[in-house]
Structure 1
Amino acid sequence: MSDPSPTSARDGASARAGGLRLGLAENWRQFGLLILVNAFVGGMVGLERTVVPLIGVEEFRLASTTLVTSFIVSFGVIKAFTNLLSGHFADVYGRKRLLVLGWLIALPVPFMIGWGPNWGWIVVANALLGVSQGLTWSMTVIMKIDLVGPKSRGLAVGLNEFAGYLAVGLTALATGYIAQRYGLRPEPFYLGVAYAALGLVLSIFLIRDTRHHVGLEIAGHAVAAEPVRFWEVFRRTSYGDRNLFAASQAGLVNNLNDGMSWGIFPLFYSAFGLGVERIGILKAVYPVVWSVLQTVTGPLSDRWGRKGLIVAGMWVQAAGLFLTAATRQFAWWLAASILLGLGTAMVYPTLIASVSDASHPTWRARSLSVYRFWRDMGYAVGALVAGVIADLFGAPWAIGSIGVLTLVSGAVVAVAMREPPG
């Protein structure tokens, strides 16, 4: 795959002629619309956090935890590969087109999950959701970074992820409440129909492309970059650059433990007699804490640097996982969910900002796509590994094992990552 040469001095000249400027204050209207759109993107994932694993066990009578978590595997693998390609195609065809395409693909998902006659429909729906999320979430974060320029990347990512994961948490809470009163299907998935329709309408009629903002940044960049081919970007981001490698492996492990919690936690809580509404509370607390605190940790990473927040955040997540595995009471699980949310808030926006720091704007979208490939492959790896361990040894062992991996990943960042000068 060759370098698409997406932006040039001509893009920068046209951006200046059109009066475009970089910065959050200068682009607050589009930035705010993108926050709203990403809330709907996150809500589509939140539909599943509480209810879908329970559908597998209670409606389709799946006896194997590995089979129950298969919907997360399909989601994670497809989303990872979509992420890998999305940056390249965003440079070639524009960010907005891919955003709209992602919403079109999302439209059948809530219908397939809410009314599908067998578990295969759930797995296929999650493959479609993976494509949709790989396009929509990738585009919203890339477009916000395009708009604000290099000085406020942590803030931009923090606000983006705040909107998405607040919607994940609130939707997980809402679906638990609805399922407790009306059943696991189809009523909780009416929310998804509304999210997909609203996200598509906003993306078509109100969102504008941001490629000219990238041209403006390139025109003022101190270091000119030679064209870089896609596979060279893949190599650099995966292992060729120590900062990008550290971020990629941490992103993978971060979503590995998130994928595990997505599939295993509802079954783990349910096995100890917790009802679906209280499971919904626990499943909501983690992403809500994560989302809200990102508005603090993102800007802090701009001031304090990226490495310390990433290392500490991975270790706080590990502590939350160990506490979950070792306890059997709602209050302790609630405390563990808060720790997981805090640790993820420290890590999530900071990792994306660190990848942006280490990438030239001419290939930043592709580098972010490679990072997001590795990060979201963690969903599949975490769900699969945790499902197998849970089937063999029980859910507490699965949760504790992922906690150990998270602890080790933080240590890798501590050794490998270097803060950029100045």
Structure 2
Amino acid sequence: MQINTSVPLALGLRQNWQQFILLVIVNACVGGMVGLERTLVPLVGTQEFGIGSDLVVFSFIIAFGVVKAFTNLISGVLADRYTRKNVLILGWVIGIPVPFLLAWGPSWNWIILANCLLGISQGLAWSMTVNMKIDLVGPSKRGFAMGLNEAAGYGAVGLTALLTGYLAVQYGLRPQPFYLGFIFTSAGLMLSIIAIKDTKGFAKLEADQWSPLKLIEPQRQPTLSWVFEQTSWKNKNLFAVSQAGLINNLNDGMSWGVFPLLFTAAGVNLEGIGWIKAVYPVVWGVGQLVTGPLADRLGRKPLIVWGMFLQAVAHLFIGLEVFPALWTGLIGSALLGMGTAMVYPALLAAVSDAAPPLWRASALGVYRFWRDMGYAIGALMAGLVAAWLGMVWAIHVAGLLTLLSGIIAWIGLQETYKMVKK
């Protein structure tokens, strides 16, 4: 296999800042594709297609989460065995039909198909931007790198969610708000083909130059089944990280489906829904500009544990409905975003600490499999609980699970950063 040697093989952000910035821009485009759906798709289901079942409405999130989770698993193997760049390009190519289907799909089944394609596209493209940034910066700046990566992605999610809400007020739910997807796919694909260079050589360089404490054996490229077992349950640290990632995205999957319907029923207009749906990922995204570097200073564990606890507080605040609906949604979403910002880069950095460079992408793929299964589990849980007890109780159940997850991380997770810090 040929490695692109035109990229100077020196680890570090300063040495590779041009490629790093380009990858940040690409991931903003990736995030924008998810943001297309945050405000409007649940409302398309209820208002345009007349779907009365919460579980059926949330089915698009379930489809997205399951497909993205399994694609993450495959993308890690592909990245370890082939080139990151080719996998990134493939992700964009698969995502090309998505805005067309969202804008003009004649039935709910077409929306589900769009989300299956979006899940594959995200699983390939977002995974590669994560792996490529980790490859470039080396072990000492992983938290910072992941903070920038996720800030770009989820900042774009939030801003796109807000913009689609405004466009829907002006033009209706479809098709105009989804035209933004054409811009994201075109820009992301062209940058990936023309400007992005492969980074697998950097992972090989790190493996040759730097050897962490042997947290996990073997120091070679093992089978996917071996990596899956280690990351999922055999290694105590990686189990703690994987379960926290799953519950974190359970919250996101729940809020994705529940918030537009809950706050619409409470009398919040479409513009207000757009703001509520934007605040969460924007705070989540921008907050990682702070929490990513903090993970490199304070360590991974404090941010993971207290971030989960803060998310549990956010659920309690929203569920109690103390303030008028709009303010409850805005403040609760901001708290949820702060907690998620604390957790997200620290979790990715912790996995990268624990897995040797030669099979780190596969370990990240397994972690992201469990994390993104949280979308499907959260949407399924929310649909079942909402049908039985009401939507507010879906929020309460998510809050309880988040609290328990934080306790598991508190008890079971050892600090990983001290194991790789020079």
Q: Distance in 1 between matches of 2:45 and 2:411?
A: 41
- Say whether 1:276 aligns with 2:270: yes
CA 1:79–1:329: 2 relative to 1, 3 Å: same
- Say whether 1:335 aligns with 2:331: yes
Q: Which of 399, 406, 409 in structure 2 is aligned with 1:410? A: 406
Number of equivalenced pairs: 411
Partner of 1:309: 303
Instruction: Within 5 Å, give how 1:66-215 maps onto structure 2.
Output: 66-215=55-204
Instruction: Within 5 Å, give how 1:346-361 maps onto structure 2.
Output: 346-361=342-357
Q: Distance in 2 between matches of 1:19 and 1:262?
A: 41
Answer whether contact 1:323 1:333 (CA < 8 A) is retained.
Answer: no
Partner of 2:215: none
- Say whether 1:395 aligns with 2:384: no
Q: CA deviation at 1:363?
A: 1.0
- Say whether 1:377 aligns with 2:366: no
| Segments of 4+ moved more than 2 angstroms | 221-224
Q: CA deviation at 1:332?
A: 2.3
Deviations 1:220-278 (A, max 9, x none): 02368244221111100001111100000000000001000001100000001111111
Partner of 1:228: 222
Q: Distance in 1 between matches of 2:169 and 2:384?
A: 29
Identity %: 58
Answer whether contact 2:155 2:281 (CA < 8 A) is retained.
Answer: yes
The amino acid that maps onto 1:312 is W
Deviations 1:399-420 (A, max 9, x none): 1111100110000000100013
Q: Distance in 1 between matches of 2:106 and 2:288?
A: 39
CA RMSD in angstroms, aligned pairs only: 1.5
Q: Which of 258, 268, 272 in structure 2 is aligned with 1:264? A: 258
Contiguous gaps of at least 5 residues in structure 1: 1-5
Q: Distance in 2 between matches of 1:227 and 1:66?
A: 41
Answer whether contact 1:114 1:186 (CA < 8 A) is retained.
Answer: yes
Q: Distance in 2 between matches of 1:329 and 1:279?
A: 10
Q: CA deviation at 1:329?
A: 2.4
Normalised by the length of structure 2, the TM-score is: 0.95
Deviations 1:23-66 (A, max 9, x none): 00100000000000000000000000000000000000000000
The amino acid that maps onto 1:381 is I
Normalised by the length of structure 1, the TM-score is: 0.95
Contiguous gaps of at least 5 residues in structure 2: 213-217
Q: Distance in 2 between matches of 1:361 and 1:166?
A: 28
The amino acid that maps onto 1:212 is G
- Say whether 1:365 aligns with 2:351: no
Greater CA drift, 213-222 or 351-360: 213-222
